[in-house]
Amino acid sequence: MKRKRLLVMAVVAMLSVGMWSCGKDDNTNESDAGTTQVDPGIDPGIDPGIDPGTDPGTYPGAVWVDLGLPSGLLWAAHNVGASAPEDYGDRFAWGEVAAKITYNWSTYRYCNGDYDQLTKYCNKSSYGSGYNGFTDDLSTLEPADDAATAAWGDGARTPTKEEWQELMDNTTSEWTTLGGVIGRRFTAANGSSIFLPAAGYRWDDELNYASYGYYWSSSLYTDNPNFAWSFYLCSDYQSVHYNCRNNGLIVCPVRSSLR
């Protein structure tokens, strides 16, 4: 019964995102500026219809971009598991540091097989392991559970919900292509930019991609701790929104200024 209820919740949550997330709302950060010239970069020769994130054991060195943000935060030039900005990279469940094929509650690291049996990052007892009252009040990923930190080290981590918002608030963005891959380019006032490919997400063993992208934040959705905050982008919209922790999403690292 629990699994049936979970499936309904997951489907409803994803359908609701799909229905409203490509429409405008107060979180929209669209620019009316003219088209930005995009550096074609290095074309890895990958068919956009094929997931480029195929080797979870390969993590190239970090390349950092200074967007002149108020916080001084640096953003990675490519995702964890990627070798170029247009590569998707690997997908991770929230709080896991290794990519896998199947993403559901039965394979999720921090639960006992179902959404209401969380064993870490749980601020509500009704979601604690088997309704036994478990809570730990952790609301931000610890370094040991951060895919960016595990992959790159040296100060790399997954951005918080607030840091995704800072990126939107201090850049203009456009839907474009790089190396044959669609996504959004975020350009700052200092002229620096990053490209986030529309890498979709993985749920169970199904891969959904090519027209939108989901990226993890390190912040728990405390209203319902089986969700965490994520960043969503598509052709005419971008927003910080929540996503089921057991889904496989992309990670774009950040770090503090090198200065």
Can you give the residue range of the structural domain that contains 85? 2-22+65-255
Whether 53 is covered by a domain: the verdict is no
What single-letter amino acid sits at 258?
A: L
Check residue 207 and give its pLDDT.
81
Whether 182 is covered by a domain: the verdict is yes
Residue 86 phi/psi, 5° resolution? Answer: -85, -10
Give residue-wise pLDDT tens across range 129-150: 765 678 998 999 999 999 999 9
Whether residue 122 has pLDDT greater than 90: yes
Check residue 61 and give its pLDDT.
59
| Helix-then-strand count for the chain, H and E | 3, 13
- Domains of the chain: total: 1
Give residue-wise pLDDT tens across range 165-196: 999 999 999 999 999 999 999 999 999 999 99
As a whole number, mean pLDDT of residues 243-255 equals 97
CB 62 within 8 A of CB 156: yes
For residues 90 and 243, what is the distance between their CA atoms, to the nearest angstrom? Answer: 17
The overall average pLDDT reported for the chain is: 80
Tokens of 104: 């559901």
Check residue 23 and give its pLDDT.
30
Whether 73 is covered by a domain: the verdict is yes
Give residue-wise pLDDT tens across range 28-87: 333 333 222 222 222 222 223 333 333 333 344 579 999 999 999 999 999 999 999 999
Whether residue 214 has pLDDT greater than 70: yes
Greater confidence (202 vs 131) lies with 202
CB 193 within 8 A of CB 186: yes
Give residue-wise pLDDT tens across range 93-113: 999 999 999 999 999 999 999
Check residue 195 and give its pLDDT.
98
pTM of the full structure:
0.77
Whether 48 is covered by a domain: the verdict is no
Whether 29 is covered by a domain: the verdict is no
Whether residue 3 has pLDDT greater than 70: no
Whether 42 is covered by a domain: the verdict is no
Check residue 5 and give its pLDDT.
41
CB 123 within 8 A of CB 135: yes
Whether 30 is covered by a domain: the verdict is no
Check residue 56 and give its pLDDT.
34
Check residue 210 and give its pLDDT.
64
Greater confidence (39 vs 250) lies with 250
